[in-house]
Chain A
Amino acid sequence: MVAENSTPHLHSAVEPRQTLRRRLDIIARAAMPSLFIVLVAILLSAPFGIPGQSELQFGIAMCTVWFWAFSRPRSMPAWAVFLCGLSVEVFSFGPPGAVLLSLLVIYGVAHHWRYGLSRLGFVSCWLIFSFFAALASFFQWALVCIHAFALLSPAPGLFQAALTIGIYPSLTALFVWGRRTFANPDQA
């Protein structure tokens, strides 16, 4: 993994001019991860009838925040995580605040350990992410139990955690490619 500012400024004197179009391009590329979360939240709230649709909504948001928070924090600032979390909250019907708090906590962890995580291999990152994804699912389950005043079956929470952990590798492949190409503000 490579930390932020992966593209070195070799010839700063010959940088292209800061036209309006270029600025918009930079903003759009930097906002790509956040837009991805919001779009996925809206898409997965539509009645497609896909099994595990709402679990996928949570899982994709978690993976995206985790990856971009340590890989390129400039594309995923804290307020953007907050807004993304709010949009996921609006387009889902789980216990209020659970997804938002989980996203902020996982952002805090990834952002705080970003230098260490950038040096670690993929599998180690995945394992650490798995632990926090399971923790977030457990937290959500506990909140639902408090809401219902009953001990509910933890099976949906386990399924959600497994799905979140399972989609991480494929999403990482997409994000690594995106970080080099369409979501790279340095290439604007």
Chain B
Amino acid sequence: MFSIHTRQVLARAALPILILLAVALVLLGLVRRPVVDGVRLRATDILAPAYQALVYPQTRVQEWLVDLRGATDLAKENVSLRDENRALRHWYDVAVALAAENARLKNSLHWIPESAPQYVTGRVTRDDGGPYSRAVLLDVGSGHQVHTGDVALDSAGLLGRVTEIGPHTVRVLLINDDASRIPVTLSGSHGDAIMAGDDTDNPRLIYYPQDHHPVEGERVETRGQSTMPAGLPIGTVHYLAPNRPVVMPDADLRRLDIVRVFDYGEDGGQAPDAPGRVKVRRPSEEPSLPGGLPFPKLPGMPETLGKGGQ
């Protein structure tokens, strides 16, 4: 179709043109990252069934291994389960007593009950962190009502927040990602801090009061800002080195399987309007004098003055 000369020119020009296109993609990623991430989410949506099929043999083998390990160690496991059961029964009684007491106290205080949050449960489709970030994709099915900023939890504690939403899949940025900053409260010392991810397994605690350092082993909970409610369990404080407190997350961030995404609503903690602020009225909106003039219209008086009396 083309002459030899044209084909040679085209062959030489191909690589520079493709490199320019790649540079354009890099620039697009810097300027409009959500566009690229949207395409990636759609690709994951399409491949979600294939991923499940690919991982199916691995999960089956892991289940068999767990069964096999249990079968070979039945006697020892029975003993440990009995002990655990005894301890759990004790804690169950304590929990029931505390729940009853809590309900009674709330009743006497006229406590306004919190609205139950909506949630969806999804399976982790894939871990899409890459070398520099920690995130997972969840398959939540079609027609979901998940919003950006919703909170992801597993059975033990907080995992992260939803950052991107696709038709079937949502992306959850984990609490140990470098971009994650979550306001937290330390339950023991009642101090506030920011939990900042740094791509390691244990997010750091920063911006805590300098005269009120976090205490080793105390519980870390969410503080309750923006879409995140207060009191969600995150983990415990641990000092890796002096003056370097980190959080040991309750959730197992390395092996995530079933994750719940909660929608606590958009209006988390919005303050009412400031008191004492009076709306300024324009002169045209000034109400006319009630009842008009207390005397009848006199001859020679302008029309506007006598209007209220009619």
Contact = CB atoms under 8 A, between A and B. Distances in A.
Contacts of A49: 127, 254-255
Interface string A35-78: 00000001101111100011100000000000000000000011
Contacts of A45: 44, 47, 51, 126, 128
Interface string B1-43: 0000000000000110011011111111110010011011001
B202 to A, nearest CB: 14
Interface stretch (B110-118, B130-138, B215-223): B130-138
B243 to A, nearest CB: 19
What band does the interface of chain B fall in when counting residues whose beta carbon is under 8 Å from A?
Answer: 35 or more
B67 to A, nearest CB: 19
B44 to A, nearest CB: 8
A152 B55 contact: no
Interface stretch (A18-26, A103-111, A165-173): A103-111
B58 interface: yes
Interface in B26-79: 26-30, 33, 36-37, 39-40, 43-44, 47, 50-51, 54-55, 58
B184 interface: no
Interface residues of A, number: 47
A92 B19 contact: no
Given A48-B58, A49-B255, A101-B26, A96 B51 contact: no
Given A82-B21, A96-B29, A101-B26, A43 B178 contact: no
A150 B178 CA distance: 10
Contact of A93 (B18, B21, B51, B128): B128
A148 B178 contact: yes
A100 B25 contact: yes
A72 to B, nearest CB: 16
Contact of A108 (B15, B25, B30): B15
Contacts, number: 121
Q: Secondary structure at chain B's binding surface: helix, strand, loop or mixed?
A: helix
Contact of A97 (B22, B178, B179): B22
B178 A90 contact: no
B131 A79 contact: no
A131 interface: no
A48 B131 contact: no
A144 B55 contact: no
A89 B44 CA distance: 12
Contacts of B36: 89, 96
B176 interface: no
A136 to B, nearest CB: 12
Contacts of B199: 152-153, 156
A147 interface: yes
A175 B21 CA distance: 29
24 contacts: A42-B47, A43-B54, A45-B128, A46-B54, A49-B127, A49-B254, A78-B14, A81-B18, A82-B22, A90-B39, A90-B40, A93-B40, A93-B128, A98-B26, A101-B26, A104-B18, A104-B19, A107-B15, A141-B132, A144-B132, A148-B132, A153-B198, A156-B132, A160-B131
Interface of B: 14-15, 18-19, 21-30, 33, 36-37, 39-40, 43-44, 47, 50-51, 54-55, 58, 124-133, 135, 178-179, 198-199, 254-255
Interface of A: 42-43, 45-49, 53-55, 77-79, 81-82, 85, 89-98, 100-101, 104-105, 107-108, 111, 140-141, 143-144, 146-148, 150, 152-153, 156-157, 159-160
